[in-house]
Amino acid sequence: MTETEVFAKVKETLVEALGLDDEEVTPEATLTGDLGAESIDFLDIVFRLEKAFNIKIPRGELFPDNIVNNPEFVQDGKLTETGLVELTNRMPHADLKEFEQDPDINKLAELFKVQTIVNYVSNKISG
């Protein structure tokens, strides 16, 4: 499956899960900020992706949890160096370049873009 095909299917999934119009789903759109996803929607998206692509997505793999509530990873509202390493290891599908300049945990949600999902699924199905 090409990346374009993965994107088309991810787009369809997000349109259904979040009640969006097709044109709202662009690669750079953020799930919470631009597309209005709430916490339960992340689970919904995971379930739908599993079905659409016939894959298994373990908890915390696509959208990592237990990072911001771990004191080893967060100090003064920013990810520590250890936290950044952890995030990099757990989110090889995200582009962290911009976030690394100012690892404010309030900006963590901006890492969850449509392209992040496309990268994750592409890696997953290519094995």
Partner 1 sequence: MRWIWIDRFVEFTPGRRAVAVKNVSLAEDHLHDHWGPFPIMPCSLMIEGMAQTAGVLVGQARDFKEKVILAKVSLAEFNDIVVPGDQITYRAEIDNITPEAAVTTGTMLRNGKPLGHVNLIFSHIDQNLAGAKFPKDNFVFTSQFERLVAPFLEGGDG
The site for partner 1 (CB under 8 A) is made up of 17, 39-41, 43-44, 47, 50-51, 59, 65, 69
Q: Considering the complex, state which of residue 26 and residue 70 has its C-beta at the smaller distance from partner 1.
A: 70
In whole angstroms, the minimum distance from the beta carbon of 74 to partner 1 comes to 14
Among candidate residues 38, 9, 27, 52, the one with its CA nearest the CA of residue 113: 27
Q: Considering the complex, state which of residue 23 and residue 40 has its C-beta at the smaller distance from partner 1.
A: 40
Enumerate residues 6+ apart whose C-beta is below 8 A from 98: none
C-alpha span between 117 and 6 (Å, rounded):
9
Q: Considering the complex, state which of residue 51 and residue 95 has its C-beta at the smaller distance from partner 1.
A: 51
Q: Considering the complex, state which of residue 48 and residue 78 has its C-beta at the smaller distance from partner 1.
A: 48
Among candidate residues 29, 91, 19, 22, the one with its CA nearest the CA of residue 9: 22
| Direct distance between the N- and C-terminal alpha carbons of the chain, in angstroms, rounded to an integer | 12
Burial class (CB in 10 A: 0-12, 13-18, 19+), 25: buried
In whole angstroms, the minimum distance from the beta carbon of 4 to partner 1 comes to 27
In whole angstroms, the minimum distance from the beta carbon of 16 to partner 1 comes to 8
In whole angstroms, the minimum distance from the beta carbon of 1 to partner 1 comes to 23
